[in-house]
Amino acid sequence: MISARAASAVLAAWYWLVVAFLFAPLVVVVLFSLNDAEVSILPIRALSGRWYAMLMKDQTVLHALGNSLIVAVAAVVVSVLLGAPLAIGAHRHGGKVGRALVGFALAPMMIPALILGVSLLTLLNALNAQLSLVSVTLGHTLICLPYVVLVLDARLAGYDPRLDEAALDLGAGPLMLLWTITLPLLAPAITAAALLAFTLSFDDVVVAFFLTGRENTLPMTIWAMLRYGITPELNALAALTILVSALTALLAEMTLRNARSISAHPNLKETSS
């Protein structure tokens, strides 16, 4: 039999092996983005930030970054405006029909992005719609909406209905109940869902590949730059993209943890009882 200490050491080694496997490529990209040489090779002889300085002067990259931000923000707004009412309505009044609607809203998560992109392109071609940032926003909304609904549905699962009953007993109408009780309690979850949706839209390349017109997003620009090989400037751009995605995901996780701590706070439970 393996001792407890040996088993713990094996698990710890396996854990760090998995962590290294996941993060080693990201670390390598960041290191090469700081390499002063024009060729991404080891060993790194000198560190420099000149490739980041070059990116700040690259109008193509800056324009693509602006497009990505526009599309991501638009997709987040539309996803939240559609997903929040759907999740709240399904939780309060939907019953079996509401659960079916939630399941239907989650369906795009199970469809490969490649199939989703081809399907949307076929639909837009059938409608003679011109590909543009609007079409990319439509595709990203379809990607982001299931995650918004999933996050809010999970948060509503722990929602205390006695809060609604107390508000209604005190004379609050449906709109006042929504504005003063439901939305404030869901605000952290909505924020986390919006941050998650932003990350998904900002990083997407598959759906954007099919729906992009003349205006490229940042991932599409990175894809185009790969045709000329992996350059230090491309590594710098990838490192910045990793940083933005990591910070957004971290903020989303912190917001969700804050929401859980608020819902588990004993004073809140005493207030609702």
Banded model confidence at residue 66, pLDDT cuts 50, 70, 90: very high
- Name which residue leads in pLDDT, 147 or 46: 147
With contact defined as beta carbons under 8 Å apart, do 264 and 61 qualify? no
pLDDT at 13 over 60: yes
pLDDT at residue number 266: 45
pLDDT at residue number 102: 83
Average pLDDT of the residues in 61-74: 92
Q: Which residues contact 124 (CB under 8 A, 6 or more apart)?
A: 131, 135, 211
Number of domains making up the chain: 1
pLDDT at 171 over 80: no
Q: Average pLDDT over the chain, rounded to whole? A: 83
Banded model confidence at residue 229, pLDDT cuts 50, 70, 90: confident
pTM above 0.85, yes or no: no
Residue 209 lies in a domain: yes
Helix, strand, coil percentages (3-state) for the chain, rounded to 5, are 80, 0, 20
Q: How far apart are CA 109 and CA 11, in angstroms?
A: 32
Residue 261 lies in a domain: yes
CATH number at residue 196: 1.10.3720.10
Residue 236 lies in a domain: yes
Q: Which residues contact 130 (CB under 8 A, 6 or more apart)?
A: 213
Range of the domain at 168: 58-272
